[in-house]
A and B are shown apart, each in its own frame.
Chain A
Amino acid sequence: MLFLSQLANALVIGTLYALMALGLSLIFGVLKLVNFSHGECLMVGGYLYYVLATTLKLPLSISLALSLPVLFLFGVFLERSLLRAPYQRRMARYDEYVILVTFALGIFLQNLALPVFGPYNRQAAPLFKGSVRIGELVIAGDRLTGALVAFLVIGILLFFLYRTYLGKGLRAVAQSPGAAAIVGIKVLRMRAVAFGIGITLAGVAGALFGPIFLVNPEMGTSFAVKAFVIVVLGGMGSIKGSIVGAYILAIVESFGSILLPDPSRALAYKDAYGLLLLVLVLLFRPQGLFGEKERRA
C-alpha cells in the first residue's frame, strides 16, 4: 500500500518535473545555453497564477490560461533584452556571459519577489479540490489536476515540436543553426520562440506546483537544481531524456525518503537525492541517458 501510494505520488510529481525540465531542455537545445534563472521563472509563474486567481479573483481555469501568453511574452522579452545582441555580434566569451547573465537574472527576480510579495508562503487554490479514490489509493485533487494539466501541456508541446512547421524549424535550429539559416529559417526568431516556450513551461510548472507545495520567493532554487539534475541525467537537450529523467528523479526521491528512518531528516534530505544521482551520472555516463557523446576536436 505504501509502495503503491509512493509510486502514484512519484508519477504525479514526475509529470510536473518533466514539464519544467522540458523547458530547460528546449532552451538548451535551441540556444545552446543553460538557463540558470529557470527556477526563478518557475517562481514567477507561481506568483502570476496566485495573483490572477487570488488577488484579481479570476476563475481558476482562466487564470491558468491567461498566464500562458504572459509568460511567453516575458520569455521573449528576456531573450530580446539580454541574450540576443551578444549572440548576434558574436561576443567574445559568450559562453561565460550567458551563464553569468541568466544567474544574475535569477538573483534579481528572487530578490525582487522578496520585497514585493514578502517572505511568506502563499498558496493558490487548485483547479480541483477534494480527492480521487482508486481502490485503496487516494490521490489529492491538487496533485491529480496538476499532473493532468501537465500531461496535456506536454502532449501539446510534443505535437507542436514534431508535427508542425514551426516545431520543425525549432528542431532544425537545434541541430544546426548554420544549415537552418541557409534553408531560410529565421534563426533569431526561433531562438526567441524557444526561450519564450521554455519560460512558459517553467512558469506553468510553477503555477501547478503552487497549490501543491507553497509559493515563496526562494522556491526556485530547489526546483532549478532538480531540473538541472534531470537534464544532465537525460542528456542535455534531449526531449525524450528530459521526460524519462524526470520520472527517474521523482521515483528516486519518493522511495529514497522511505529509506531514512528519521522522518525529519528524510524530509530534509529529499532534495539531496538529486545530487547523488547527478554524481552517479557524471561518473558513469557523463553524456546522460539519451545524450550524444561529446565530440572533441
Chain B
Amino acid sequence: MKRIFPALLVLAALLFPFFFRDYWLYVGIIGLYYAILASSWSMLAGQVGLISFAHAAFAGIGAYTSALLVIHGGLSIPLAMAAGALAAAVVGLGIGALTLRMRGPYLALTTLAFSEILRIFITAEYQLTQGSIGLKVPLILDGNKLVCYYTGLALFVLTLVVLTFLIHSRVGLLLVAMREDEDGAATRGVDTVAYRLIAFVVTSAFAGLAGGYYAHVVGLVSPQMVRIGEMGLILAMSVFGGLESLLGAALGAIFLQTLTEYLRIFAEWRLAIFGALVLFTLKFAPEGILPRAYLYAERFMDRWLSRAPR
C-alpha cells in the first residue's frame, strides 16, 4: 500500500487532462496552485514549527512581481516567474531576520500585519497595480489549458522534490531537532536562528513561485489574492491534509478545491464551513483528516487481505 499509493497518484495526475476537459481541467490548474502553497506552508508549520500568515501575501508578491516584469519589463514569462519567487524570498528574508531572533508568536503577529498592509498597498497604488479592479496579465502560451496544467504539475513536483530533499538533508534533521527541543539543539551548537531563517526563506520563495504561476494561468491578479481569508484557505487545506506530510497537505488542497466546486450553491457559507472543518479537525484529529482516513483504509485493507484465501 505504501508504495502503490504514490505511484497511483502520479499516474492519476499525469492522465488527468485526458479524462477531464475545460472546466474540471481548470479546477485542476487552480488546485495545483493551492497544492504548492499548502505543501510549502505545511513544511514550515509542520516540520519547522513556524506559523507564517504571509504565505498568501508572498504568493501575491510573486504574482505582481512576475506580472509587472512581463508587462513593463518585457521579460519572458519563465524568467519573470523566477524573479517573482526571488522577490518573495527577499521579502521573506527581511521579515524573517526581523522576527526569528525572538521566540514565541512574533513571526505569526508580524506576518499577519504584513499581509494586511500589503493588501492596503496593492489596493492604494492603483497606477501601478490597477487597485482592486485587478491587473490583466499575459497568459502562458495564450492560455493553452494543457500547457498550463503540465506547467503547474511540473512546478508542484519541483516543490515536493526540493522540500523533501531539504527535509531529508542535514538541515532538515537539525530543523526537526530544534522543533522537538530548541534549547537542546542550541546547546549542541546549532545556529537555530539561521536554520529557521533558511526554512522560512525557501518556503516563502515557493509561495512566490506559485503566485507567478497563478498570475500567468488565470490572467488576472487582484488584491483578493492576499486577503486573510485566502490565508485561511491555505491553512484549512494544510490542516485538513495533515501538517506532518507535504503530500498530505497537497492532497488536502486538491480535496478542498474539489469540494469548493460542489459547495458552489452554498457560495457564501463556504469559508465558514471550512473554518468549522478546521476547528473540528484540530480538536478531534490534529494530525489531519486525510492521514487518519488513510490509516483506517490501510487497516481495512490489511484485514481484508489476510481474510482472503491465498
Residue on A nearest B94 in the bound complex, by CB: A279
Interface status of A132 (Cβ within 8 A of chain B) = no
Is the pair A108, B275 in contact by a Cβ cutoff of 8 Å? yes
Mark interface residues in A286-297 (1 if CB within 8 Å of B CB, else 0).
Answer: 100000001011
A272 and B117 contact, Cβ closer than 8 Å, known pairs A232-B109, A236-B104? yes
Interface status of B205 (Cβ within 8 A of chain A) = no
Interface status of A82 (Cβ within 8 A of chain B) = yes
Interface status of A222 (Cβ within 8 A of chain B) = yes
Q: Tell me the bound Cα distance from A185 to B196 in angstroms.
A: 38
Mark interface residues in B146-173 (1 if CB within 8 Å of A CB, else 0).
Answer: 0000000000000000000000000000
Specify which chain B residues have a CB less than 8 angstroms from the CB of A297 in the assembled complex: 183, 186-187
Interface status of A128 (Cβ within 8 A of chain B) = no
By secondary structure, the B interface counts as: helix
Which listed residue, A33, A107, A114, A228, touches B228 by the CB 8 Å rule?
A: A107
Specify which chain A residues have a CB less than 8 angstroms from the CB of B101 in the assembled complex: 286
Residue on A nearest B45 in the bound complex, by CB: A96
Interface status of A225 (Cβ within 8 A of chain B) = yes
Specify which chain A residues have a CB less than 8 angstroms from the CB of B103 in the assembled complex: 294, 296
Is the pair A103, B272 in contact by a Cβ cutoff of 8 Å? no
Most A Cβ at <10 Å: residue of B104, B270, B275: B275
In the assembled complex, the CB of A136 is this many whole angstroms from the nearest CB of chain B, namely 33
Q: Tell me the bound Cα distance from A5 to B275 in angstroms.
A: 42
In the assembled complex, the CB of A292 is this many whole angstroms from the nearest CB of chain B, namely 12
Is the pair B110, A278 in contact by a Cβ cutoff of 8 Å? yes
Is the pair A225, B49 in contact by a Cβ cutoff of 8 Å? no
Specify which chain B residues have a CB less than 8 angstroms from the CB of A82 in the assembled complex: 279, 282-283
Is the pair A225, B232 in contact by a Cβ cutoff of 8 Å? no
Interface status of B121 (Cβ within 8 A of chain A) = yes
Identify which of residues 177-232 in chain B touch chain A, using a CB-to-CB cut-off of 8 Å: 183, 186-187, 228-229, 232
Interface status of B16 (Cβ within 8 A of chain A) = no
Specify which chain A residues have a CB less than 8 angstroms from the CB of B235 in the assembled complex: 100, 103-104, 107
Interface status of A265 (Cβ within 8 A of chain B) = yes
Identify which of residues 208-267 in chain A touch chain B, using a CB-to-CB cut-off of 8 Å: 221-222, 224-225, 228-229, 232, 236, 264-265
Is the pair A108, B272 in contact by a Cβ cutoff of 8 Å? yes
Is the pair A114, B268 in contact by a Cβ cutoff of 8 Å? yes
In the assembled complex, the CB of B190 is this many whole angstroms from the nearest CB of chain A, namely 13
Interface status of B98 (Cβ within 8 A of chain A) = yes
Q: Tell me the bound Cα distance from A33 to B108 in angstroms.
A: 12
In the assembled complex, the CB of A89 is this many whole angstroms from the nearest CB of chain B, namely 12
Which listed residue, A34, A91, A112, touches B272 by the CB 8 Å rule?
A: A112
A269 and B228 contact, Cβ closer than 8 Å, known pairs A107-B271, A108-B276, A282-B110? no
Specify which chain A residues have a CB less than 8 angstroms from the CB of B112 in the assembled complex: 36, 224-225, 228
Interface status of A126 (Cβ within 8 A of chain B) = no
Mark interface residues in A22-34 (1 if CB within 8 Å of B CB, else 0).
Answer: 0000000000011
Is the pair A114, B120 in contact by a Cβ cutoff of 8 Å? no
In the assembled complex, the CB of B297 is this many whole angstroms from the nearest CB of chain A, namely 25
Q: Tell me the bound Cα distance from A82 to B114 in angstroms.
A: 27
Residue on B nearest A113 in the bound complex, by CB: B272
A sample of 6 inter-chain contacts (CB < 8 A) reads: A36-B108, A85-B283, A97-B286, A106-B232, A111-B232, A278-B110
